[in-house]
Amino acid sequence: MTFVLELLVSLLIVAGGSFLLIGSIGMVKLPDLLTRLHAPTKATTLGVGGALAASMVFFAGLEGTLSIHEVLITAFLFMTAPLSAHFIAKAHLHEHTELRDGLPPTGRPYGWSTFDAAPGPSEPDDEDERRGAHD
């Protein structure tokens, strides 16, 4: 393997490790769940992404082919991390109802879908009546 590839792999590993370290420190130091949630979903995801990118570059330089395993792991990680963070935050908001007061206004006649029921069926307008959509 050439020096340039070794340097690139080393830089990706160091960058990934730095993000992992920052994410781990954030998990310990941040005060509450909603702020701590950013550490694993942002920094740690980038850290693992850096390690996976280093692995892809290493095996591409060593074998001359792209390994699909790292691509699949990266895609799975980038799909599941935001979803799990969303569900954790939503569960936390439902458990701590006093946090509702700090939410910004929605700008709509109804509130946040997490807490309020969805609006009922709307009244048909003139165009709906002309098309016969009010069946």
**Domain extent listing, the chain:** 3-96
Q: pTM for the complete prediction? A: 0.69
Structure tokens at 70: 């790292």
Cα dist. 55→52, 71, 114 in Å?
Answer: 5, 10, 40
| pLDDT tens digits, one per residue of 110-127 | 777 777 766 666 655 555
| pLDDT tens digits, one per residue of 28-59 | 898 988 888 888 788 888 899 999 999 999 99
